[in-house]
């Protein structure tokens, strides 16, 4: 390990499991990242990693299957990293879009109205 490296999800890591939190949750807390989209992603990562039943998010089985499929496909570390970045960037953008929609807009859409 280099002096300037930040360790993640390994023994004695800067960002590792702490109590009942996964590494991703530890990182969000340490960096004071209070973003609803990141919290949604953290629930998914937590359940896939810890499998403790705390999150019932509908995305969990699909994301878990994708990650397991990549391992079965024997992707290289570089491929896993690039695919992972794309997957989690997509999730972040989707969750960010959901939180940007106001409750009034959603009610209007459900009743057949047009989105402004």
Each residue's pLDDT tens digit, 39-87: 999 999 999 999 999 889 999 999 999 999 999 999 999 999 999 999 9
Q: pTM of the entire structure?
A: 0.75
pLDDT computed for residue 2 by the predictor: 67
Alpha carbon distance 102, 77 (integer Å): 40
C-alpha to C-alpha distance for 7 and 3, rounded to whole angstroms? 10
Tokens 């039943």 -> residue: 53
CA angle 61, 66, 67 (to 5 degrees): 100
pLDDT value of residue 99 = 80
Q: What is the pLDDT of residue 30?
A: 87
pLDDT of residue 89: 97
The C-alpha atoms of residue 45 and residue 24 are separated, in whole angstroms, by 7
When pLDDT is cut at 50, 70 and 90, the band that residue 17 belongs to is confident
| Range list of β-strands (E), 1-116 | none
Task: State yes or no: pLDDT of 104 exceeds 70.
Answer: no
Place of tokens 């530890």: 26
Question: Is residue 36 predicted with pLDDT exceeding 50?
Answer: yes
């Amino acid at each position: 390990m280099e002096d300037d490296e930040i360790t993640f999800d390994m023994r004695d890591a800067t960002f590792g499991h702490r109590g009942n939190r996964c590494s991703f949750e530890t990182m969000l807390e340490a960096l004071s990242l209070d973003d609803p989209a990141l919290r949604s992603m953290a629930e998914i990562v937590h359940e896939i990693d810890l499998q403790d039943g705390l999150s019932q998010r509908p995305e969990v089985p699909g994301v878990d299957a994708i990650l397991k499929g990549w391992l079965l496909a024997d992707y290289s570390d570089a491929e896993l990293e690039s695919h992972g970045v794309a997957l989690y960037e997509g999730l972040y953008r989707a969750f960010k879009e959901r939180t940007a929609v106001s409750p009034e807009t959603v009610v209007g859409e459900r009743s057949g109205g047009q989105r402004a």
